[in-house]
Amino acid sequence: MRDVVKSDRAPAALGPYSQAIKVRGSTVIYCAGQVALDPTTGALTGGTAAEQARQVLANLKAVIEAAGAHLSDVAKTTIYLTDLNDFQAVNEVYASFFVSDPPARATIQVAGLPKGAKVEIDAVAVLP
């Protein structure tokens, strides 16, 4: 019923979850949240929320591409920030990845994220 999607261009899951799930017979890909981990070392990268957002979106892009999709296929994202004061800086980075027709989105402030990250983003992509 479903295929686990794995990319070595994105960090391995930190717990009992998959990077993404592609549902067979469906066109929907559910991507787990990504934080700013270096795919090779597993270390948190970037000191600012903007720097972390750039790595987060690169990781998310790698997972989506491993599922056979592209960022342009993303229909919905959720951004989790530990400080909503970083909203504008993250928006600027986000806009550089979703240049035209960006997906629907929610942004939520949270008390904490894995590995002390400042930003986490998950996504749902729909294949044409």
Query: What does residue 63 show for φ and ψ, rounded to 5 degrees?
Result: -65, -45
Return the higher-pLDDT residue of 65 and 101: 65
pLDDT digits (tens, 9 = 90+) for 48-58: 999 999 999 99
Examine the pLDDT at 35 and tell me if it is beyond 90.
yes
- Tell me how far apart the alpha carbons of residues 57 and 51 are, in angstroms, rounded to a whole number: 10
* Helix locations, the chain, DSSP H: 49-66, 87-97
* Side-chain-side CA neighbours of residue 29 (13 Å): 31
Q: Which of 72, 73, 109, 74 is nearest to 90 (CA)?
A: 109
- Tell me how far apart the alpha carbons of residues 108 and 120 are, in angstroms, rounded to a whole number: 10
Structure tokens at 67: 């599922």
Examine the pLDDT at 26 and tell me if it is beyond 90.
no
Examine the pLDDT at 60 and tell me if it is beyond 80.
yes
Return the higher-pLDDT residue of 18 and 35: 35
Examine the pLDDT at 4 and tell me if it is beyond 80.
yes
Work out the pLDDT band at 20, boundaries 50, 70, 90. confident
pLDDT at 122: 97
- Tell me how far apart the alpha carbons of residues 121 and 123 are, in angstroms, rounded to a whole number: 7
If you average pLDDT over residues 4-13, what whole number do you get? 90
Structure tokens at 76: 């919905």
pLDDT at 27: 85
pLDDT digits (tens, 9 = 90+) for 73-126: 998 999 999 999 999 999 999 999 999 889 889 999 999 999 999 999 999 999
